[in-house]
Amino acid sequence: MANQGRRTFLKLSGGVLGGVLAGSTVTAAERTDRFIVKTRGNGAPSDLDVVFDLPEIGYAVVRGSESAVEASSAVTSYAPDVELDGADPSVETHDYEGEATDDALYPFQWDKQALDVPTAHETTKGEGTRVAVIDSGVDASHPDLEVNTAVSKNLTGDGLGAGVPGGGDHGTHVAGTVAAQTTGETGVAGTAPATDLVDYRVFSNFGGVSGAFSIVIGAVVQAARDDCDVANLSLGAYPIPRQGVTEGFYGNFINAAMTYANKEGTLLVISAGNDSADLQHDGSLISLPNEGAQALSVAATGPIGFGWGDDGVTAPPESPAFYTNYGTNAVDLAAPGGDADLAAAAEEVPGWYYDLVLSTVSVVTDIGEDGTVATEPGYGWKAGTSMAAPNVAGAAALVKSANPDYNANQVESALKRAAAVPEGYDKAYYGAGFLNVVDAL
């Protein structure tokens, strides 16, 4: 049988296999001991060491030599899995420096104010729904988060478990944007605080941020298996050559998983990326997975000057962020993800970071000699399409809660119908428009 990955790997290594946390710097290396295989029939190959089986889509991930994979009668085609190593993908970050547990932080959450989340909460807070965060992990010890650790899974194989230890800063920020609790008078508020939050950890924080391509795609299938109504993927890669990918082995693997999730009722909300790229007019290039099958692709908006005092707001919250990818047919919605005046940041203008998105974080307190990371819960600002997607994921949970009979396509349609392109702005940055949570309910 043919190894379907050899001809496309070098192209992929800077694309679908790089930048996998949206906007990050990532390197990729072909695995020689692990392979993604297309199976003959619906079962995993019994003659190979199966890492995990995906019979719903006819694939499996196996460990062993290429000669063993080549010789297996249960395998019709295969490609090497790919190891990913990267850094935090946020465009800008800033940690909260006060005693956060004693402060009410909603006044700093311009994103929730722009979406009028409190009014939406008069209808629902997401009761009866489940949202997956497919990311670097969620700090389950954070006082603002209630994580379903019984369902949550660490798919990296690093042995650190789901939640603490190993709760990732990026994933914790995303989780708070979706579902931070609003039961008290302190901390931050999430868009859907009553949803059942599930952590699917696909990147290990052991000695850095790393993971495998197959794990990310496997997590999409697992989220559908676990009856998640929404899965947030604040990750992706660009640029990727279309040739040999969209119709090749890796592209088929991605689309099979995404189509399965949609069929099972899981809406996939995915960040559009932070490359300032026109995805509509990029010729032979593609951004994945946000341009994959059944994806709801989210661009980012943000203010300039929020909370700066006398200087005032020079750009409203619905303005496109300077870094966001765009493209009429490549972006479905735009939502608050944060913006930044880079000159103000460089000059350390007081409050410049208020234009980023404030949420829960997992603050690194120590890094051991063996690479293990010690963390404690906190709050911080980040900007990126990684921060925009979870605002949409939370809104999708609210729509599903208010309309429990809706399937994934109907939830997406409700969000798009309620959205509108702000007057005077280019539709290419918005798709259907700027997220309108209240009107979607």
Report the C-alpha gap between 195 and 399 in whole angstroms.
11
Exposed, middle or buried by CB within 10 Å (0-12, 13-18, 19+), for 272?
A: buried
Residue range 92-440 forms a domain whose CATH class is alpha beta
Give yes or no: 297 in active site: no
Q: Name the catalytic one among 136, 234, 386, 401.
A: 386
Residue range 6-85 forms a domain whose CATH class is alpha beta
Report domain extents, the chain: 6-85, 92-440
Report pLDDT for 22: 44
Report pLDDT for 30: 67
Give yes or no: 135 in active site: yes
Give yes or no: 141 in active site: no
Per-residue pLDDT of the chain (441 residues; tens, 9 = 90+): 556 543 333 333 333 333 344 444 444 556 778 999 999 976 788 889 999 999 999 999 999 999 999 999 999 999 998 776 544 455 555 555 554 444 589 999 999 999 999 999 999 999 999 999 999 899 999 999 999 999 999 998 887 788 765 678 899 999 999 999 987 777 999 999 999 999 999 987 654 556 788 999 999 999 999 999 999 999 887 888 887 666 689 889 999 999 999 999 999 999 999 999 999 999 888 888 899 999 999 999 999 999 876 656 788 999 999 999 999 999 999 999 999 998 988 898 888 999 999 999 988 888 777 767 778 899 999 999 999 999 999 999 999 999 999 999 999 999 999 999 999 999 999 999 999 999 999
Report pLDDT for 28: 54
Q: Name the catalytic one among 121, 142, 170, 173.
A: 170
Report the C-alpha gap between 320 and 275 in whole angstroms.
13
Q: What is the pLDDT of residues 57-112, one digit of tens each?
A: 999 999 999 999 999 999 999 999 877 654 445 555 555 555 444 458 999 999 99
Q: Name the catalytic one among 81, 85, 135, 341.
A: 135
Report the C-alpha gap between 2 and 399 in whole angstroms.
45
Q: Which of 136, 434, 131 is nearest to 299 (CA)?
A: 434
First to last CA, the chain: 51
